[in-house]
Amino acid sequence: MSKPIAVILGGSGGLGEAIAHHLFEVHNYKIVITSRDQAKAEIIAGKINQKGGEAYAIPVNVTNASALAQVAAQINRELGPVDALIHAYGKGVIQASADINPELAAQVVNTNVLGTFLATQAFLGYMNTEHSRMIYFPGTMGKYIMRNSALYSATKFAIQGMVKGLVEEHKRSNTQFSLLYLGGVDTPFWDDEDVQMKVKKEAMLNPAVIAKVVGNILGLPSTHVVNEMVIQPNSHQLV
């Protein structure tokens, strides 16, 4: 039996990297890591390959529709239909709305909203028609509002609406969609200068634990689907 294929969009970051390793080590997936940072993606793929896995690194920007289409077609041509598409990219901004530069606002909206739409659109025709899953991470700020999150939350609420719309469109297909609302995860997201928020990383969610959750979702029978799930740290992340 051939190995299932997982494409991790934005796989060079903390959460995507953890998912890539877990899906290879525990669930025996072929891994495709896409990222704007090709060097980091190649390092992660190389580590998996050194352990006897099969991993590939492909550069792509999720806001580039033609590049996404080419990557999706290439993966299908060279490896086969995609069994799992993991949306692990995103651009953060936690600032007072009055202080956000319009160019930064456009970058956040284009990456989080347009990018999610374009990436989904590019791969829809290349998913395994027998059974496949797409997993999204709108975060808890796509469900609950917090101070200085107006713009960022707007993009994450948009992802929630988009995915629920996709569910309605694809009820008769064998592709399933899951929304995982994660509280603070200990990743480089919090090191971004545009995320102006004090946090306690040691109190946050562990990416390796979230990777296990993703693996469990992908391992469910095809008759089961996780529509939505909220996972938060036990303690609040603000200081």
pLDDT band at 237; cut points 50, 70, 90: very low
Distance from C-alpha of 21 to C-alpha of 19, rounded to nearest angstrom: 6
Residue 1 has what pLDDT?
A: 66
- Number of domains composing the chain: 1
Residue 238 has what pLDDT?
A: 41
The token duo for 81 is: 């239909």
**Domain contains 31:** yes
Encode pLDDT of 155-205 as tens digits: 999 999 999 999 999 998 999 999 999 988 888 777 778 788 787 877 788
**Domain contains 236:** no
Q: What domain range is 37 assigned to?
A: 5-231
Distance from C-alpha of 54 to C-alpha of 1, rounded to nearest angstrom: 15
Based on DSSP, count helices (H) and strands (E) in the chain, helices before strands: 7, 7
Residue 132 burial class via C-beta count within 10 angstroms: exposed 0-12, middle 13-18, buried 19 and up: buried
**Domain contains 237:** no
Give, in degrees to the nearest 5, the angle at Cα 203 between 200 and 205.
115
**Domain contains 238:** no
Distance from C-alpha of 41 to C-alpha of 54, rounded to nearest angstrom: 13
Question: 196's torsion region: left (phi>0), alpha (psi -120 to 50) or beta?
Answer: beta
Between 49 and 1, the higher pLDDT residue: 49
Distance from C-alpha of 38 to C-alpha of 136, rounded to nearest angstrom: 22
Residue 51 burial class via C-beta count within 10 angstroms: exposed 0-12, middle 13-18, buried 19 and up: exposed
Encode pLDDT of 121-158 as tens digits: 999 999 999 999 999 999 998 988 889 999 999 999 99
For 90-101, letters b (16+ CB in 10 Å) and e give bbbbbbeeeebe
Residue 30 burial class via C-beta count within 10 angstroms: exposed 0-12, middle 13-18, buried 19 and up: buried
Write the CATH number for 15. 3.40.50.720
**Domain contains 239:** no
